[in-house]
Structure 1
């Protein structure tokens, strides 16, 4: 889920250590013998992408240098342009999808981790973990709007009615943003990671509780919560009314129907699946296997998911984007500072 950033090494380790310490203190408070310690279940923690090895084969397609630690990648459906976060300095790059040339560079006030899109495109959503804000960036002009949200916003998505959904990782909440202000907060999550808008529903991966939760955005109530593997991280709209979840620690791609919320399928992939992108009309999900430097295309439209294609990628493929209806996808390498374009 949250990969430690170069500027803040060990932040997650410190948090996890503090939480583990609290759990140990609670278990051992019964006096000599510590009889409660052995009965306490192990604490659940958020999964991380694997540390990728040096690629053993050449990556498919073409590769271009883009900047330091590129992560967070989306294709804007309104313009066809790509948006990608880089660091040193922190920027959002707007790129030509064919040549990978930079069209625009927008300074941002913190390191980019994940990106989302407003409904209909044209606006890229940048959760800024460093200062607890959501930044909306106009792809065409570079104009921005910043909204204060919860603590360490990790992911964002645009809802059908124009509202924006922000998963606030370390405040255990989901913020609903409208026209530059938070209009509602769901606060019953442990550690939200990926968020997806599906019609009137918001669907959130809880990386510490290992669950998937749906909320009705009309009634502003929680609808359902179901188990989601052994260490899920992110989710994507995979087909109408259906989402796919990367069970990163469990090595699987999980498929859920949203209404009602229930798991309908799973596919063993291994090698730490993490980055997700989808062509919902084709019911195809692209998932990166970070331990194998590979991206895999999966058909999730039927009862049983099946692998369609596999391509070797650049090293540490944490992020992938796809052009729905086309045969082109892009993969960013967080370690090597490059962007890969694959024309299938």
Structure 2
């Protein structure tokens, strides 16, 4: 299919975009750094997953190289590489992106055990998490080292500006692990912590936002004192979350068919925009100021300009089947999409 085309079948939905400042439920909540481990007594929903992708759709745009069937993909823009968690979760595959649209495997690194998730790279260090274990993976040497940490079932992982790693768990906790790989604090009060996004703030501690698929919500978290701040409903089945260089948090509501944007500090809903066919993976190009949303129901990815406050579609491309993971390299504008069913790693020029 062509790289761009009119989205005629989506045009009918756009008439609702004028109501971008949607009414939301704002709930002020708080929790001590070492509070009760019980889940909060709140209404929940079945956590949403990606819509199954069809077969026989258009040929993927850009280039596609072989990759494990996986849902975990990490970008290291400074190191010009992307990392894919192996299908067995016991290894990571490192791809060089020196030629941005032609990723090349440089090494496969075995892990000491099966991990649940891989997270942000700092220097050559990639972190991976498993129950009761944090793994540091040296992408330069290929050495992986495990550390015992007090976490249950991890779902997400991120990094703070101070060098700490934060881990979100299936029982609603956020565990901060310091540079010495000792637990600094544990924050609870959520049902699940499926995604973590971190925004640096001048003169303040980082703003952390946690996405909880069971509550279909996003919650602001102050890791400096272990408190929870604003909590906002995020449609009917929120799934993924990223933050851009403006400090906006962008989320997908797969069940409700929406792309949502939140201003941070304080957390406020800015828009809820209809996107058909199961919006799931989301990324942002901080140089070209484009938000990318992958829709697995039709194997496509859409680029939106958010300059006016209302998403405006700029581009639409065909993706690999079941593109459940995506990262965007702002340095080159390249979008990388990973197939969860083994159709490969796709690189699309921005």
Q: Do both share a fold (TM > 0.5)?
A: yes
The answer to whether the 8 Å contact 2:67/2:342 transfers is no
The answer to whether the 8 Å contact 1:237/1:280 transfers is no
| Structure 2 unpaired stretches of 5+ | 1-41, 201-205
Identify the residue that residue 106 of structure 1 maps to in structure 2. 109
Per-residue deviation at 1:66?
Answer: 2.2
Per-residue deviation at 1:112?
Answer: 5.5
Per-residue deviation at 1:116?
Answer: 2.0
- Counterparts of 1:114 and 1:278 in 2: how far apart (Å)? 21
1:145 aligns with 2:151: no
Per-residue deviation at 1:84?
Answer: 0.7
- Counterparts of 2:345 and 2:300 in 1: how far apart (Å)? 14
Q: 1:287 aligns with which of 290, 293, 302?
A: 293
How many residues get paired? 299
| Cα 1:286/1:55, change in 2 over 3 Å | farther
1:124 aligns with 2:130: no
Per-residue deviation at 1:308?
Answer: 1.9
- Counterparts of 2:244 and 2:126 in 1: how far apart (Å)? 20
| Cα 1:79/1:318, change in 2 over 3 Å | same
Taking structure 2 as the reference length, what is the TM-score of the superposition?
0.80
Aligned-residue RMSD, C-alpha? 2.1
| Cα 1:311/1:121, change in 2 over 3 Å | farther
Of stretches 308-317 and 214-223 in structure 1, the one that deviates more from structure 2 is 214-223
Q: 2:274 aligns with which of 265, 268, 271?
A: 268
Listed one character per residue, the Cα deviations across residues 140-179 of structure 1 (whole Å, up to 9, x for unaligned) are 222333342422211111112211111112x211111112
Q: Which has the higher contact order (CA 8 A, sep 6+)?
A: 2
Per-residue deviation at 1:314?
Answer: 0.8
Identify the residue that residue 57 of structure 2 maps to in structure 1. 56
| Cα 1:248/1:125, change in 2 over 3 Å | farther
Identify the residue that residue 245 of structure 2 maps to in structure 1. 239
| Cα 1:149/1:289, change in 2 over 3 Å | farther
Taking structure 1 as the reference length, what is the TM-score of the superposition?
0.81
Per-residue deviation at 1:235?
Answer: 0.6
Listed one character per residue, the Cα deviations across residues 191-214 of structure 1 (whole Å, up to 9, x for unaligned) are 111101112111000111111111
| Cα 1:78/1:203, change in 2 over 3 Å | same
Identify the residue that residue 90 of structure 2 maps to in structure 1. 90
1:164 aligns with 2:170: no
- Counterparts of 1:242 and 1:288 in 2: how far apart (Å)? 19
Per-residue deviation at 1:238?
Answer: 2.4
